A and B are shown apart, each in its own frame.
Chain A
Amino acid sequence: MARLWKMVKESLASEILSISGGTLAGLGLAKITGVLEAFPGMIIMVPGFMGLRGNILGALSARLGTALHTGLIDSEELFSQETISNLVTSLFLSFFVNALIGLLSYFFCLALGVQAILWKLVLLGALSGALASIIVSPFIAVLAIVVFRHGVDPDNVMGPIVTSVGDVTALVCLFLVAKLILWIGG
């Protein structure tokens, strides 16, 4: 019984953190319903776009953790060649895969009978993905190195931080780029 309550206590603590971070992102989503209605097809991109930030940024954080542990990255140097290579890779993946999400969303729109415009969806995916990556990736890299310097294992602490910061930043970027595209293209 004691072991069961220990499991509940440990899992519940991280759940509360995770739900709280997700709720902030959810509030952001609830506040941009006007843009979601004005930009046909945008809502189709939202789950895929938000899921990717975890897959790309989570993988970046895991790679940096391994590189720090194996000594490939020196924790005294914030932006070494290895760190920069990781950041460029993450930026490329965000740009490329989110542009692809924009393209695929267009086909989903066609199937659902939603009148969407191809270039707007591709531009929305590519620009918002790149912007979110430019903002969050260096933050994650610096934080992983700094926590490692203080004797904390980045693998144990970066997960919830990546999810929460990534969720909110991704939504803000998606909103800003959508507003820009609506302003340019009507």
Chain B
Amino acid sequence: MDKVMFKRVVKESVPALVVAAILGMAAGAMMQLKLEMWASLPIFLMLVPPLNDLGNDISCIVSSKISTLLALGIIKPEMRINAVLKENLVSISIVAFLSALYLGAINYMIAGGAGVETISVWSFLAICIVAVSLLTLLVVTISISVAFVSWRKGLDPDNVTIPICTSVSDVLGIVCLLIAVAIIGVG
């Protein structure tokens, strides 16, 4: 047993893990406030893990791409859209929209097959599209901003942006889902 490695990993990991856990519990607190809705329509509860995965993935993709573009000197850390950044944002938007359709379709089919109570297919798809669009907009904005700020402060965005943005996107995923349900309704 390598005690030096054990102590080093524990010391370096615990602060980030505790911050991530607190942010996760903020998301949990929001779920607790709507416990009746999750229990009466568990199809929305089904959406929580894949929506969080999607938010985390988009955040990882954007953060890694921005870090690479900054390191290569293709973009500067300022809120100005150039051709390369625009191309990346368009590709993320297309991926997010197609992912929202897949998310809605696969969850609806599996919920139906597994006997989970569902709502109208069109309302459900609309909720998925609104939730994913909102989440993508917020996650992309936050990821780019955090990457720019960390770059300006001389930190490697690869090490800073992903842990911050994935934890924040877990909270935002549930917020966006609740907003989408409130906008579209559960008809």
Contacts and interface: CB of A to CB of B under 8 A. Distances in A.
Given A22-B52, A23-B46, A47-B170, A4 B107 contact: no
Contact of B20 (A11, A14, A18, A55): A55
A18 B53 contact: yes
A43 interface: yes
Interface in B80-108: 87-88, 90-92, 94-95, 98-99, 102-103, 106-107
Nearest to B44: A30
A181 B32 CA distance: 20
A82 interface: yes
Nearest to A84: B1
Interface stretch (A96-104, A132-140, A145-153): A96-104
- Chain B interface size, under 10 / 10 to 19 / 20 to 34 / 35 or more: 35 or more
Given A18-B53, A19-B102, A23-B106, A104 B1 contact: no
B29 A92 contact: no
Interface in A55-82: 55-56, 59, 63, 81-82
Contact of B46 (A12, A29, A56, A88): A29
A172 interface: no
A177 interface: no
B24 A48 contact: yes
Interface residues of A, number: 62
Contact of A23 (B110, B166, B174): B110
B39 A37 contact: yes
Interface string A1-39: 001100110011011101111110111011101001100
6 contacts: A4-B87, A22-B50, A31-B114, A47-B31, A92-B6, A105-B25
